[in-house]
Amino acid sequence: MSAFWSGWIIILSVANILGCVWLIWWTMRRRTGEAAQGDVTGHTWDGDLQEYNNPLPRWWLWLFYITLIFAVGYLALYPGLGDFKGVLGWSSQGSQYTAEMDKAAEKYDPIFKQYATVAVADLASKPEYQEARNMGKRLFLTYCMQCHGSDGGGARGFPNLKDDEWQWGGSADQIKASIANGRNAVMPAQAHLGEEKVDQAAAYVMSLAGRNVDAAEAAAGKEVFMTAGCIGCHGMDGTGNPLLGAPNLTDNIWLYGGSAGAIKQTLHKGRAGVMPAQQDLLGDEKVHLLTAYVYSLSKQ
């Protein structure tokens, strides 16, 4: 943080506290010509709603004083005034944070390590590893549910992890690679084909999934599919390619929606899906347990 912004934050913080102090003083001081305590001030709203000249409640004033004292004390002890780190020198990346993380690692790392050498398939299926799956589930609920849902059922644009249909492959190693290293999927926009060819390609793609479409339009769409570069990722038969993250178009499972409108939008504008890498955040042992839990979801 530059000296300018540090000073700016300090000025704003101190000015706000002093402003609150001034506000209390200004509201409590007696003014010349004002009504006596308990009398009506002359301010009237809605016909008969009148303001009386009464002091602020004592409990409210004391709560205000306590808030101001707390603010001053907090800013003196902890970071909050620009670059000033506070008397205690606390930092989210400092010794206190490191000590807490080291203490947690000392307690929990041995538990994670005991499962690190067990095969994912065994952790995902054998009864004696139920506790491992429970740990994997807790990791999932902490780091993954925001996109994939608490039950792994996914949402529009976020894959369902329970259906055993995998864009990047569903083996234990492939799932672990997806979690550890992340994935970046790209469906190029095809708007350059024009409205008519996009409609035809959408009809053909829907026909691959067994949907009822106009036969003539689907036949024309097949020609577009074969010549516009679609087969380079999705294959001649439309079954996709896990190495490229190209989805299977024949299973009637749609990441961004399977309506004609949604498919046309995908063709017009393209798609760009991102799965963040978790290796640096979680480490090998936690990724292993998380893989086992995700793998188990599709085998239930």
> What pLDDT score does 219 carry?
96
Q: For the range 235-241, what are the long-range contacts, defined as Cβ-Cβ under 8 Å and sequence gap of 24 or more? A: 238/205, 238/208, 240/167
What per-residue confidence (pLDDT) applies to 63? 93
Strand partners, 84: 81
pLDDT digits (tens, 9 = 90+) for 172-216: 999 999 999 999 999 999 999 999 999 999 999 999 999 999 999
- The residues, any chain, with a CB within 8 Å of residue 114's CB and separated by 6 or more, are none
Q: What is the pLDDT of residue 142?
A: 96
- Residue 185 forms beta bridges with which residues? 273
* Domain ranges (residues) in the chain: 1-17+40-90, 102-177+280-297, 185-275
User: What DSSP designation does 181 have?
Assistant: H
Q: What is residue 238's DSSP assignment? A: S
In the predicted structure, residue 30 carries a pLDDT above the cut 70: no
Give the residue among 275, 95, 31 at the shortest CA–CA distance from 177.
275
Cα–Cα distance for residue pair 159/262, rounded to 1 Å: 16
| CA–CA separation, 214 and 236 (whole Å) | 21
pLDDT at 67: 95
pLDDT score of 245 more than 90: yes
Q: Where residue 55 falls among pLDDT bands split at 50, 70, 90?
A: confident
- Helices (H), ranges, the chain: 3-28, 58-77, 95-116, 120-125, 130-143, 145-148, 172-181, 195-208, 215-227, 231-234, 260-269, 279-282, 284-297
Looking at residues 19-32, what average pLDDT do you find?
80
Looking at residue 24, what is its pLDDT? 86
More confident residue, 288 or 32: 288
Does the domain made of 102-177+280-297 have the CATH classification 1.10.760.10?
Answer: yes
Cα(119)–Cα(287) distance, integer angstroms: 13
The CATH number of the domain covering residues in 185-275: 1.10.760.10
Has this prediction a pTM greater than 0.75? no
In this prediction, what percent of the chain has a pLDDT beyond 70? 95
- Condensed to tens digits (0 to 9), the pLDDT of residues 98-118 reads 888 889 889 989 999 999 999
Burial 77-97 (b: 16+ CB within 10 A, else e): ebbebbeeeeeeeeeeeeeee
Q: List, for residues 73-103, the tens digit of each pLDDT value.
A: 999 998 888 888 888 877 766 677 788 888 9
In whole angstroms, give the CA distance from residue 241 to residue 228. 17
- Decide whether 102-177+280-297 matches 185-275 in CATH topology: yes
Residues linked to residue 273 through DSSP beta bridges, in sequence order: 185
Instruction: Please give the Cα distance from 35 to 41 (Å, whole number).
Output: 6
Nearest to 204 by CA among 191, 190, 189, 222: 222
Local confidence band at 271 (pLDDT 50, 70, 90 cut-offs): very high
Report the C-alpha gap between 288 and 299 in whole angstroms.
17
Q: List, in sequence order, every residue forming a beta bridge with 272; answer none if it has no partner.
A: 186
Query: What is the structure's pLDDT at 66?
Result: 95
Which is higher by pLDDT, 27 or 140?
Answer: 140
Tell me the per-residue pLDDT of 135-145, one tens digit each, with 9 for 90 and over.
Answer: 999 999 999 99
Check: CB of residue 130 under 8 Å from CB of residue 210: no
Mean pLDDT of the chain: 91
